[in-house]
Amino acid sequence: MCGRYTVIAPAPTLAKRFNAKEAAAPAPNYNAAPSQALPIITNAAPGQIQLVSWGLVPAWSRDPAGGPKPINARAETLAEKPSFRQLLARRRCLVLADSFYEWQTTERGKVPHRILLKSEEPFAFAGLWDEWVDKASGEVHPTFTIITTEPNELMAKLHNRMPVILPGPDAEHAWLADDLSAAQHQQLLVPYDTALMKEYAITTRVNSPAHNDADVLAAA
């Protein structure tokens, strides 16, 4: 499960890290949540950062307002579900981030943790995207979902899933590459190296998406 994350790095920093033109420069997002417009890079436009809504609305959806909008897709079953299988072949994306949150179930209740790279540098989740077209207006609505996989040793203490973090530019380029097979793309969807990650418990301030400031990052 990945239901909340951060994009704190300034737009120019993201543009340099991912070698792509920056999108409009939004304020740092300390509590990125579903339905928000967040920075991604698609295989269709690998040189451009775009702001796209989190929560997948498939192109074939009849009711984008009331239908499901999955924020996550399981790596292990992508090839089994027709909608995700088509997107794995045609519409992959990088979801830009610099940390994410997970809630650990304890005797005291659910305790939020912040997880990030030891380097504290931006990284990319593996994602899928699609476009739904409003037939009445012709308006195009792009959306995305984040792929999850089994947890590494660090994440297993907190949850039974973790988002797929692509291990650097080579893997990111491979994920976006249209000349690789689905099997080759699937091989990239593995847990990130535990030795390169760190985490710490934070306050429950993060529980509300309305709290979107640096105080969310404070240790508990």
Beta-bridge mates of residue 54? 144
Dihedral, CA atoms, 116, 121, 124, 125, nearest 10 degrees?
A: 0
Catalytic (active site) residue 102: yes
2 catalytically annotated: yes
* Ramachandran angles phi, psi of 80, nearest 5°: -90, -25
The helix (run of H) or strand (run of E) holding residue 130 is strand 123-133
Catalytic choice (93, 102, 172, 199): 102
Alpha-carbon gap, residue 104 to 106, rounded angstroms: 6
The C-alpha atoms of residue 204 and residue 216 are separated, in whole angstroms, by 8
Q: Give the pair of three-digit tokens for residue 214.
A: 């640096």
- Name the catalytic one among 2, 93, 172, 199: 2
Active site residues: 2, 102
